[in-house]
């Protein structure tokens, strides 16, 4: 049974459209369960009814016509009760409704199960049988398992289906992802295609057909020559049978097979790459479905050949310079820093990617540069997006494809409001973060970018509260040398002097990987991360500490911050290494002033060790992002549980309040450098708790400064008391929103969910 189940899911997964996914579902399930009928109904959320989308067994003419409201008929009953219904004699059930067009009267037994994804009912899966019999427990369990597995796949197919229909009807679609960098943008999609990825080739039409056929033939000749060379090179080392495979390859590329089909598609008006991708994908899908191991192997061969030809086609187009339109929205599977760097900053409006999370490298860069980004959009059919009009809502993690006029004008208004607000706050940027009643809060910036990108901030901030050294490490092909690090750090320290610059030692692991030092673990956020990695590699940590200390010579504004500390021994070990480095450098004649050292408060264990830590270090910096993740046991990048991730959860607020009180008692300076500090209401709450330094991404500074300058410390203290009294995150948010609106500060908050 398990094999059948897996195979069906696999087939549905590789379907190219919603329609074919549904057709596979009903056909395969009917066959596996040996029933007379299998049908799938999907919830049409606009009409609020379950519509028959495909069936095998009922009259096909009923597809698209038979519809039932939740609670209506047996299907509606399954949907509204969200549980299976197994009946021996369905027509006798009081909810049974007869639809003449289905020919349903012939079937007696009925088993319906809901298809549910993340608590939402997507539809109902039904099998029916002529005989008067009850489906047994095993059959019921099979259909439930099937529906649960298909739910995830169907969500993707629904999203792609919505987009597929866009091509025909010019309608719009709204898709969701991870809100990775705040802000709004409207513009044109520029799809970046990873080299030789057949799934990411955009659908593109051409007019000069002959030239396109010529390009394709040229690419084929290139691959043929490569195969010939490979075959000759290996001739003496492989068997005659294996050697024959090369001939098969040559034949596949020949005029009467793959090559001919692709040419036919090009003559229909598709670009060589689009035509190739379509033909190869169709063949691969067909062969993978067949119950024959030999043919399955051929699928891999065809895919490989397709990639090779695509490689040639792309090599050629890579020579042509790309012209980026104004308001380019970069869309890709995974966007690298290098790709980001290729677009002139004034042309780039937003980023969208199928992979990535709010802490991935590109998200960090996007936030630092103030570019809205929505990442982790698993369902995004890249090939359909080239040159389409998009709206990106980085506050809520939404992507609107081909927005209709009303939606677009709503976003134009919101964008104009945001711009007007930025202009209005611009004048305040050089004023201190001081409340109405004279209380002052240090406003600092989080960075990791080169000084060039952040130098202009010096006059607007009280220093760098978090310099993420992993960002420059990610830009290299290997660990940067001591000299390379020295230059980078010196730039930052000099650029912001005399303000303090808090440099965090390398914080990799979790979801932050270096391309040249991959860490693969089952549970990376609970694994080898931050200080755990660098203590296991003292050679890396020592070089970094040496570079930092040497860079600070004569400036005295360096602070060193240790990430992911979970016990006192880790701090002791780093301090020992630091003593060694200091000794060595002094010996070399470098004038060292011992920098202040701090720990990040982000692993819950240290909440209860603040006393011991305060004896060893000079300051604390709260990483509210990880503290939230670990306190709530919610992976900060997992879309399935993202609704549970909330820095305003009452437990997180209590932890933050505890740290502020304890730090005061211990006379240890404390700041917050997680995202909460960059949220105007969050910043006011933190100020009310007693935090006197907040560090945030540069684009958040104006709003936070404005909020602080318009509220008294006394009001902020009341806000904290009120927030701490709320039992749920939703009530905390309601409380914060109410206060912000009373203070006339709602405009500083990101646009709310409609
Ligand atoms: C944090 O965890 O809050 C933090 C600032 O560090 P990072 O987001 O880099 O893990
Ligand atoms: Mg952290």
625 lines ligand 1 (CB under 6 A): yes
List alpha helices for 290-404, DSSP H.
293-318, 337-342, 361-369
Instruction: Please provide residue 38's backbone torsions phi and psi, each rounded to the nearest 5 degrees.
Output: -140, 130
Burial class, 743, CB count within 10 angstroms (exposed 0-12 / middle 13-18 / buried 19+): middle
pLDDT, residue 608, reads 98
The reply to whether 673 belongs to the active site is yes
The angle at the Cα of 506, spanning 503 to 507, to the nearest 5 degrees, equals 105
Asked if the model's pLDDT at residue 295 lies above 90, the reply is no
247: helix, coil or strand?
A: helix
Closest by CA position to 712, among listed 689, 739, 684: 684
Q: Whose CA is nearest to atom 1 of ligand 1?
A: 623
Asked if the model's pLDDT at residue 676 lies above 90, the reply is yes
- Ligand 1 pocket test target in 449, 507, 599 with most atoms within 8 Å of CB: 507
pLDDT, residue 166, reads 40
pLDDT confidence tier of residue 720, bands split at 50, 70 and 90: very high
510 lines ligand 1 (CB under 6 A): no
pLDDT, residue 218, reads 87
229: helix, coil or strand?
A: helix
Asked if the model's pLDDT at residue 155 lies above 80, the reply is no
361 lines ligand 1 (CB under 6 A): no
CA of 697 to the centre of ligand 2 (A): 14
| Average pLDDT for the chain | 88
pLDDT: which is higher, 131 or 666 = 666
Q: What is the pLDDT of residues 529-586, one digit of tens each?
A: 999 999 999 999 999 999 999 999 999 999 999 999 999 999 999 999 999 999 999 9
pLDDT, residue 163, reads 47
679 lines ligand 1 (CB under 6 A): no
Catalytic residue among 361, 395, 648, 649: 361
Index of the ligand 1 atom closest to the CA of residue 359: 8
Q: What is the pLDDT of residues 326-385, one digit of tens each?
A: 999 999 887 876 677 778 888 999 999 987 777 666 787 788 788 999 998 876 777 778
626 lines ligand 1 (CB under 6 A): yes
674 lines ligand 1 (CB under 6 A): yes
DSSP 498: T
Q: What is the pLDDT of residues 438-486, one digit of tens each?
A: 999 999 999 887 766 677 889 999 999 999 999 888 878 899 999 999 9
642 lines ligand 1 (CB under 6 A): no
CA of 537 to the centre of ligand 2 (A): 20
List alpha helices for 43-186, DSSP H.
73-81, 137-169
Closest by CA position to 596, among listed 649, 564, 559: 559
The reply to whether 649 belongs to the active site is no
602 lines ligand 1 (CB under 6 A): yes
Question: What is the rounded average pLDDT of the residues 297-316?
Answer: 77
Cβ neighbours of residue 438 closer than 8 Å, sequence gap 6 or more: none
Q: What is the pLDDT of residues 621-643, one digit of tens each?
A: 999 999 999 999 998 877 778 88
Strand 184-192 and strand 398-401: the pairing is: unpaired
pLDDT, residue 102, reads 83
Asked if the model's pLDDT at residue 233 lies above 70, the reply is no
CA of 51 to the centre of ligand 2 (A): 47
Asked if the model's pLDDT at residue 133 lies above 90, the reply is no
- Percent of the chain clearing pLDDT 70 (strictly above): 90
Q: What is the pLDDT of residues 687-718, one digit of tens each?
A: 999 999 999 988 899 999 999 999 999 999 99
CA of 673 to the centre of ligand 2 (A): 9
pLDDT confidence tier of residue 256, bands split at 50, 70 and 90: low
pLDDT, residue 167, reads 42
Place of tokens 């504004």: 557
64: helix, coil or strand?
A: coil
CA of 730 to the centre of ligand 1 (A): 23
CA of 88 to the centre of ligand 1 (A): 57
pLDDT, residue 641, reads 85
Index of the ligand 1 atom closest to the CA of residue 673: 5
- Percent of the chain clearing pLDDT 90 (strictly above): 55
List alpha helices for 170-271, DSSP H.
209-234, 240-253, 258-267
624 lines ligand 1 (CB under 6 A): yes
- Could you list the beta-strand ranges (E) of 337-409: 348-353, 373-375, 389-393, 398-401
The two tokens of residue 99 are: 């639809």
Q: Whose CA is nearest to atom 10 of ligand 1?
A: 626
pLDDT, residue 235, reads 65
CA of 625 to the centre of ligand 2 (A): 6
pLDDT: which is higher, 334 or 151 = 151
H or E element, residue 135: none
pLDDT confidence tier of residue 238, bands split at 50, 70 and 90: low
Q: What is the pLDDT of residues 158-202, one digit of tens each?
A: 665 554 444 443 457 788 888 889 999 999 999 887 667 777 777
Cβ neighbours of residue 628 closer than 8 Å, sequence gap 6 or more: 634, 636, 645, 646, 647, 649, 652, 674
pLDDT, residue 564, reads 98
Task: Return the minimum-mean-pLDDT range out of 162-171, 263-272, 729-738.
Answer: 162-171
Question: What is the rounded average pLDDT of the residues 587-593?
Answer: 91
pLDDT, residue 50, reads 94
- Ligand 1 pocket test target in 447, 673, 679, 682 with most atoms within 8 Å of CB: 673
Q: What is the pLDDT of residues 448-458, one digit of tens each?
A: 877 666 778 89
Q: What is the pLDDT of residues 89-112, one digit of tens each?
A: 999 999 998 888 888 778 999 999
pLDDT, residue 355, reads 79
pLDDT, residue 169, reads 37
């Amino acid at each position: 049974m398990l094999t059948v189940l897996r195979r069906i899911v696999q087939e549905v997964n590789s379907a190219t459209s919603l329609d074919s996914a549904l057709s596979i579902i009903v056909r395969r399930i009917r066959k596996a369960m040996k029933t007379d009928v299998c049908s799938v109904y999907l919830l049409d959320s606009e009409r609020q009814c379950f519509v028959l989308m495909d069936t095998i067994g009922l009259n096909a003419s009923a597809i698209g016509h038979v519809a039932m409201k939740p609670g209506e008929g047996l299907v509606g009953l399954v949907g509204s009760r969200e549980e299976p219904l197994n009946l021996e004699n369905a027509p006798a059930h009081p909810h049974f409704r007869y639809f003449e067009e289905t020919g349903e009267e012939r079937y007696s037994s009925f088993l319906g199960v809901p298809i549910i994804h993340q608590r939402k009912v997507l539809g109902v899966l039904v099998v029916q049988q002529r005989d008067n019999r009850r489906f047994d427990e095993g059959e019921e369990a099979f259909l439930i398992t099937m529906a649960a597995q298909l739910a995830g796949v169907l969500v993707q197919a629904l999203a792609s289906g919505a987009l597929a229909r866009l091509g025909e009807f010019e309608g719009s679609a709204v898709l969701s992802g991870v809100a990775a960098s705040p802000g709004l943008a409207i513009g044109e999609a520029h799809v970046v295609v990873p080299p030789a990825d057949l799934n990411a080739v955009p659908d593109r039409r051409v007019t000069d057909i002959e030239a396109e056929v010529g390009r394709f033939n040229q690419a084929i000749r290139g691959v043929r020559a490569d195969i010939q060379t490979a075959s000759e090179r290996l001739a003496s080392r492989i068997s005659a049978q294996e050697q024959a495979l090369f001939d098969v390859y040559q034949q596949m590329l020949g005029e009467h097979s793959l090559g001919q089909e692709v040419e036919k598609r090009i003559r229909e008006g598709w670009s060589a790459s689009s035509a190739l991708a379509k033909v190869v994908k169709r063949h691969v899908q067909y062969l993978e479905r067949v119950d024959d191991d030999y043919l399955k192997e051929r699928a891999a061969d065809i895919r490989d050949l397709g990639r090779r030809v695509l490689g040639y086609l792309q090599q050629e187009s890579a020579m042509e310079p790309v012209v980026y339109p104004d308001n380019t929205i970069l869309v890709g599977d995974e966007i690298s820093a290098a790709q980001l760097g290729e677009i002139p900053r004034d042309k780039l409006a937003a980023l969208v990617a199928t992979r990535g999370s709010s802490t991935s490298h590109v998200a960090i860069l996007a936030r630092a540069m103030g570019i809205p980004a929505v990442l982790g959009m698993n369902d995004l059919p890249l090939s359909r997006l080239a040159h389409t009009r998009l709206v990106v809502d980085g506050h809520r993690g939404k992507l609107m494809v081909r927005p209709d006029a009303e939606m677009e004008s709503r976003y134009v208004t919101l964008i104009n409001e945001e711009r007007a607000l930025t202009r209005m706050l611009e004048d305040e940027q050089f004023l201190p973060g001081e409340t109405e009643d004279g209380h002052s809060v240090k406003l600092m910036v989080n960075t990791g970018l080169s000084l060039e990108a952040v130098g202009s901030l010096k006059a607007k901030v009280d220093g760098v509260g978090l310099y993420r050294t992993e960002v420059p490490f990610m830009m290299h092909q290997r660990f940067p040398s001591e000299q390379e690090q020295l230059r980078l750090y010196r730039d930052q320290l000099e650029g912001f002097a005399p303000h303090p610059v808090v440099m965090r030692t390398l914080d990799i692991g979790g979801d932050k990987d270096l391309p040249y030092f991959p860490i693969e673990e089952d549970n990376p956020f609970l694994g080898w991360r931050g200080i755990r990695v660098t203590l296991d590699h003292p050679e890396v940590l020592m070089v970094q500490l040496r570079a930092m200390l040497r860079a600070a010579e004569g400036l005295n504004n360096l602070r060193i911050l240790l990430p992911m500390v979970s016990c006192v021994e880790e701090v002791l070990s780093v301090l020992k290494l630091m003593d060694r480095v200091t000794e060595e450098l002094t010996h070399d004649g470098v004038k060292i002033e011992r920098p202040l050292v701090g720990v990040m408060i982000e692993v819950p264990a240290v909440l209860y060790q603040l006393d011991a830590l305060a004896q060893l270090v000079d300051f604390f910096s709260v990483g509210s992002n990880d503290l939230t993740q670990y306190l709530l046991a919610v992976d900060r990048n997992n879309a399935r549980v993202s609704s549970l991730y909330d820095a305003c959860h009452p437990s997180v607020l209590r932890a933050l309040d505890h740290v502020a009180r304890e730090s005061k008692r211990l006379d240890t300076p404390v700041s917050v450098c997680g995202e909460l500090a960059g949220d105007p209401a969050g910043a006011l709450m933190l100020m009310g708790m007693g935090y006197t330094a907040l560090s945030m991404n540069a684009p958040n500074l104006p709003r936070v400064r404005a909020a602080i300058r318009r509220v008294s410390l006394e009001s902020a203290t009341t806000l904290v008391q009120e927030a701490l009294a709320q039992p749920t995150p939703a009530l905390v948010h309601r409380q914060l929103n109410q206060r912000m609106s009373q203070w006339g500060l709602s405009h500083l908050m990101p646009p709310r969910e409609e």
